A and B are shown apart, each in its own frame.
Chain A
Amino acid sequence: MSTTPFNQTLDRLRDTRFWKSIFRRGPARTNRTRSLAIFGNIFLHILPVKVREKSLRARATYYLGSFSFFLFVVLSITGALLMLYYHPATPQAYRDMKDLRFVVSNGVFLRNLHRLAAQAMVLAVFWHMFHVFYRGGYRPPHEFNWVVGVVLLLLTLFLSYTGYLLPWDQLAFWAITVGTNIISAMPVLGKQVRFQLLGGNLVGENALLRFYVLHCVVLPLLAVVFIAVHFWRIQKDGGLTVPEDDERKN
């Protein structure tokens, strides 16, 4: 099995007490021990132990879900770094955004990466949804995971929307003014929801702080939970939806 020098080194490392104390098992040489390695790892146990080869092909999924998740990771890292120079207060927020662009080393790179990754994520998540829909991935036994996916789509859009206010420029201010006025058109609860969301009657200091907390704490935490459930359910529902005739065409 382990023929290359790299694999031999890895195998020897897996036999050490240090490795075993972390991963609770030695080298995985049989299918059973390989499965146990996945089961016994907190990060991997939500993923399937085995997948069909055809569901790994590019045309099975175009890796759109994985790409969305990758963008989520990129956004978490760049977002955490941007937080180090950003104060969610008026008018400091706008100045911090300008500083990130013109004063902080590589700040403009991080900010643009965050912004572009956010736009790409909205695109990727929609594309993923359309792809799953046209493949019939919403059908039993995948109905629940489809609903989880819809929740994740909404979370992505809310994350996008709350992040939009944070630069505190004219575009941000008017986008949130218009958007929250759309919310207040909702029957009965509209005015109340707008007041709670903004923490006032207009887009001001409270609104900026609330959107900041939603954007950096509440929504990402919810997204992590729903992403975990989403991944776990793929496995529990018996893998991806791959068209039967995929095999015959090739």
Chain B
Amino acid sequence: MSEADKPTVKPEGEAKDSGGEISRRDFFNEVAIAALGVAGLGAATVTYRYLSPNVLFEPPTTFRAGNPDLYPVNSVTYITDQQVYIVRTGAGFYAVSAICTHLGCITQWKPEANQIQCPCHGSKFREDGTKIEGPAPRPLPHFSITLTPDGDLLVDKLETIKPDKVLKV
């Protein structure tokens, strides 16, 4: 009796469960998995946001470079604290980044060679930042340079400008 009953009951039960309709158990399982997925995604997003600092205690990116008269015509002056060259030509002023575009080392102005050279991997640049040779992929960028109302040079390292722009004083 029982041997005959069992095989007939089972297929019927299975047919009921998988007959195009989803069982209550499977439905709740899927809802739970989806909820966990959403919660996991949210946790990942929140953690990623947590890892990006909102306030940075880094040196200011704008600085005063002093009175223009401090710089003789046709000179390259390195501002040590800011890692910027202030270049004065006959046409006027521009500010060139001293950070090598290769891997971020600080370059040095070599007056005897009339070149900016990087000590790390040997990149060489002209005083206007254009590349002469070396692994550096790009020329040194020019930073925005303006005059403050009281007549000082003001450099903003966050704002790069086209290299042909020169501040006339």
Contact = CB atoms under 8 A, between A and B. Distances in A.
B105 A195 contact: no
Contact of A177 (B48, B53, B56, B103): B103
B120 A178 contact: yes
A174 B119 CA distance: 12
A178 B103 contact: yes
Contacts of B53: 199-200, 206
Contacts of A206: 53, 56
Given A196-B51, A200-B53, A206-B53, A177 B104 contact: yes
B84 to A, nearest CB: 15
A249 to B, nearest CB: 48
Given A174-B120, A195-B52, A196-B52, A202 B103 contact: no
Interface residues of B, number: 12
A181 B29 CA distance: 46
B58 A177 contact: no
A177 B52 CA distance: 19
Contacts, number: 30
Given A196-B51, A200-B53, A206-B53, A181 B104 contact: yes
Interface in B56-100: 56-58
Nearest to A210: B51
B56 A201 contact: yes
Nearest to A199: B53
Contacts of B102: 181
B58 A201 contact: yes
Contact of A181 (B48, B58, B103): B103
B51 A177 contact: no
A204 interface: yes
Contacts of B52: 195-196
A201 B59 CA distance: 10
Given A174-B120, A196-B51, A182 B103 contact: yes
A230 to B, nearest CB: 27
A246 interface: no
A174 B104 CA distance: 9
Contacts of A237: none
A196 B47 CA distance: 11
B14 to A, nearest CB: 36
B57 A204 contact: yes
26 contacts: A174-B105, A174-B120, A177-B103, A177-B105, A178-B103, A178-B104, A178-B105, A181-B102, A181-B103, A181-B104, A195-B52, A196-B48, A196-B51, A196-B52, A199-B51, A199-B53, A200-B53, A200-B56, A200-B58, A201-B56, A201-B58, A202-B58, A204-B57, A204-B58, A206-B53, A206-B56
Interface of B: 48, 51-53, 56-58, 102-105, 120
